[in-house]
Homo-oligomer: A and B are copies of this chain.
Amino acid sequence: MQTRTTITLALLIVLLSFSAAYSAPGDRYSEHFAPLPRRADSLLNPLNPPKVTLGKMLFFDPRLSRSGVISCNTCHALSTGGVDNLPTSVGHGWQIGARNAPTVFNAAVLDTQFWDGRAATVEEQAGGPILNPMEMASTEELAVETIKSIPGYVSLFKKAYKHDKEPVTFANITKAIAAFERTLLTPSRFDRYLAGKKGGLRSEEIKGLDLFVSKGCVSCHNGVGIGGNSFQRFEYGTDEGRYNVTGATADRKVFRVPSLRNIERTYPYFHDGSVWELGTAVRTMASIQLGVELTDEETALIIKFLKSLNATRLTIKLPVLPPSTDTTPKPDPLWSPLAEEVPEDSADAVGGLEPIESE
């Protein structure tokens, strides 16, 4: 009996050592990070192919805006990292928004949406910009009327929502867009590294990752989004952040920590888009948030790691949109929100129309 126990124990030790020796190189970071899933499923918005196809078309369709000019893809451009690379976006009537547009890539895996986290899911988020008078400036009624007038859309809604008595609703418009967004996940070389696959990180990138962890960046930028799963105070600029949503003093200048995936492509940085250089952003964050002054070498290595978070491949086929009909509401670029009551709940875009004046 004793011999048998000894043998079993010895075998167990051998197996454990073997398993430790052959663990994936990224395993030691598994307490901090998680690789991206293939897609971000949702029980409340189950994905099906017609819904995703439909959502992609709606994502690219400027007819969801009052002007007929602005689509989701205008500010969350899939050619440029899911953002517009502007400090803050240009909306209806060339109004300038108040906060930097966050990337739509991987948004579905984050815990909250918007810089102030006022929406939990992409489903809750997707309707916001459509209705915001500073952005796409439409209404639920106008959006539904527009879609209902286009037979190509109506048949797709019937396929995507076959159990719904009334498939074309504003909620189903936003659900379809969100369904498409749930497929917009961009695995990177870092994910390969975490999974112990070939084509992961190079040696300098691993050094950058080690600095990212040891200096403390990882305390906020972690998880599957490498950010996007906590709120933190960031004393920078005049924006009161989450305080505008909750009214709680503790939320003054508190923002959702942004995801760092595709960070090389989602410049300019911070909630006000005031910083264009990634190095400046990294040093500023280390200094203000961690009280750490990074050397040039440390900054360069961290940037090398951050660039490994870029999408490795991205293939998106441009959708062909179904044509309007004689009953489709006409685009109205000259509509002005000042002529109608502006809803108060438009925190990401404040201020009135600001016509351009000559200097």
Interface of A with B (CB < 8 Å)?
60-63, 67-69, 74, 77-81, 84-86, 90, 93-94, 96, 264-265, 267, 276-277, 314-321, 323-324, 326, 330-331, 333-334, 336, 338-339, 353, 355-359
Contact = CB atoms under 8 A, between A and B. Distances in A.
A92 to B, nearest CB: 8
A324 B358 contact: no
Given A324-B267, A333-B86, A355-B355, A317 B315 contact: yes
Contacts of A81: 323
Copies of chain A in the complex? 2
Given A60-B79, A336-B356, A358-B336, A331 B85 contact: yes
A125 to B, nearest CB: 22
Query: Lowest 5 CB-CB distances: which A-B pairs, in order?
Result: A355-B355, A338-B358, A94-B94, A316-B318, A93-B356
A321 B80 contact: yes
Nearest to A280: B326
Contact of A333 (B67, B74, B94, B321): B94
A79 B319 contact: yes
Contact of A277 (B264, B326, B336): B326
A68 B355 CA distance: 18
Contact of A339 (B62, B96, B318, B358): B358
B318 A78 contact: yes
Contacts of A264: 323
Contacts of A323: 80-81, 264-265, 267
B90 A333 contact: yes
A90 B62 CA distance: 13
5 contacts: A60-B79, A67-B90, A68-B84, A69-B86, A276-B326
Nearest to A330: B276
Contacts of A316: 317-318
Given A315-B317, A336-B358, A358-B336, A331 B93 contact: no
A69 B69 CA distance: 11
Given A94-B94, A265-B323, 10 more contacts: A62-B84, A68-B86, A80-B323, A85-B324, A85-B331, A96-B334, A264-B323, A316-B318, A317-B317, A355-B356
Contact of A79 (B276, B277, B318): B318
Contacts of A320: 79, 314
A316 B60 CA distance: 14
